[in-house]
Amino acid sequence: MTNMQGWSTSSGHCRAGRRRYTVLGTGLMGAAIAKRLALSGATVSAWNRSYGRSKPLVADGVVVFEHLNDCLQEPGTLILSVLDYDSASSLLQDHVAQLQGRDVINLITGTPAEAHEFAAFLSACGVGYLDGAIEAYPSDIGQPDAAIMFAGDRRVWDTHRDALLAIGGASQFVGGGPGAANVLDAALAGTFLNSSLGAACEAIAFLSAAGIDLRDPAVDFDYWIDLLRSEIHELVRALEADDFVTTTATLAVYAAAVRQWRAAAIAAGVRASMLSANLNNLERAESAGLGAQALAAQVRTMFTELGE
Amino acid sequence: MTNMQGWSTSSGHCRAGRRRYTVLGTGLMGAAIAKRLALSGATVSAWNRSYGRSKPLVADGVVVFEHLNDCLQEPGTLILSVLDYDSASSLLQDHVAQLQGRDVINLITGTPAEAHEFAAFLSACGVGYLDGAIEAYPSDIGQPDAAIMFAGDRRVWDTHRDALLAIGGASQFVGGGPGAANVLDAALAGTFLNSSLGAACEAIAFLSAAGIDLRDPAVDFDYWIDLLRSEIHELVRALEADDFVTTTATLAVYAAAVRQWRAAAIAAGVRASMLSANLNNLERAESAGLGAQALAAQVRTMFTELGE
Question: pLDDT tens-digit profile of A146-159?
Answer: 999 999 999 999 99
Cβ pair A163, B239 in contact under 8 A? no
- In DSSP terms, B20 is beta-bridged to B43
- Segment A109-132 mean pLDDT: 94
- Segment A189-198 mean pLDDT: 98
Under an 8 A CB cutoff, do A189 and B228 touch? no
A3, amino acid identity: N
- Per-residue model confidence (pLDDT) at position B176: 77
Residues in chain B closer than 8 A to A113 (CB atoms): 264, 267
Under an 8 A CB cutoff, do B190 and A265 touch? yes
- Per-residue model confidence (pLDDT) at position A9: 39
B230-248 confidence digits (pLDDT tens)? 999 999 999 999 999 998 8
- Per-residue model confidence (pLDDT) at position A176: 78
Which of A84, A131, A174, A188 has the most B C-beta neighbours within 10 Å, making it the best mutation to test the interface with B? A188
Task: Say if B111 is an interface residue toward chain A (CB within 8 Å).
Answer: yes
Cβ pair A195, B274 in contact under 8 A? yes
Task: Say if B194 is an interface residue toward chain A (CB within 8 Å).
Answer: yes
Q: In whole angstroms, what is the distance from residue A246 CA to residue A294 CA? A: 5
Interface A:B, Cβ pairs < 8 A: 349
Q: List the alpha helices (DSSP H) in chain B.
A: 10-13, 28-39, 51-54, 68-71, 85-92, 96-99, 112-124, 154-167, 180-184, 195-209, 221-241, 251-268, 273-287, 304-307
**pTM as predicted:** 0.87
Segments in chain B below pLDDT 70 = 1-17, 305-308
Under an 8 A CB cutoff, do B191 and A275 touch? yes
Task: Say if A252 is an interface residue toward chain B (CB within 8 Å).
Answer: no
Touching A: B residues 127-166, CB under 8 Å: 135, 137, 147, 149
User: Which string of DSSP letters, residue by residue, matches A218-285?
Assistant: T--HHHHHHHHHHHHHHHHHHHHHT----SS--HHHHHHHHHHHHHHHHHHTB--HHHHHHHHHHHHH
- Per-residue model confidence (pLDDT) at position B248: 81
- To the nearest whole Å, the CA of B30 is away from the closest chain A CA by 15
pLDDT surpassing 60 at residue A222: yes
Task: Say if B202 is an interface residue toward chain A (CB within 8 Å).
Answer: yes
- Per-residue model confidence (pLDDT) at position B275: 98
- Per-residue model confidence (pLDDT) at position A5: 39
Q: In whole angstroms, what is the distance from residue A122 CA to residue A115 CA? A: 11
Under an 8 A CB cutoff, do A191 and B265 touch? yes
- Per-residue model confidence (pLDDT) at position B7: 38
Q: What Rg, from alpha-carbon coordinates, does chain B have?
A: 24
Q: Residues with Cβ < 8 Å from A85, sequence gap 6 or more?
A: A106, A108, A110, A114, A115, A117, A118
Q: Residues with Cβ < 8 Å from B153, sequence gap 6 or more?
A: B128, B129, B130, B178
Give the torsion sign (CA, B99, B100, B103, B107): positive
Residues in chain B closer than 8 A to A189 (CB atoms): 224, 261
- Per-residue model confidence (pLDDT) at position A249: 86
Under an 8 A CB cutoff, do B302 and A271 touch? yes
Measured in degrees and rounded to the nearest 5, phi and psi for residue B60 equal: -95, 5
Work out the pLDDT band at A290, boundaries 50, 70, 90. Answer: very high
- Per-residue model confidence (pLDDT) at position B249: 86
pLDDT surpassing 60 at residue A76: yes
B263-277 confidence digits (pLDDT tens)? 999 999 999 999 999
Under an 8 A CB cutoff, do A210 and B270 touch? no
Residues in chain A closer than 8 A to B236 (CB atoms): 204, 214, 221
- Segment A286-308 mean pLDDT: 89
Work out the pLDDT band at A7, boundaries 50, 70, 90. Answer: very low
Task: Say if B269 is an interface residue toward chain A (CB within 8 Å).
Answer: yes
- To the nearest whole Å, the CA of B1 is away from the closest chain A CA by 35
- Per-residue model confidence (pLDDT) at position A173: 94
Edge-to-edge strands, sheet with A103-106: A63-65, A43-47, A20-24, A77-80, A103-106, A128-135, A147-152, A172-173
How far is the first Cα of chain A from the last one, in angstroms, to the nearest whole number?
Answer: 59
Task: Say if A172 is an interface residue toward chain B (CB within 8 Å).
Answer: yes
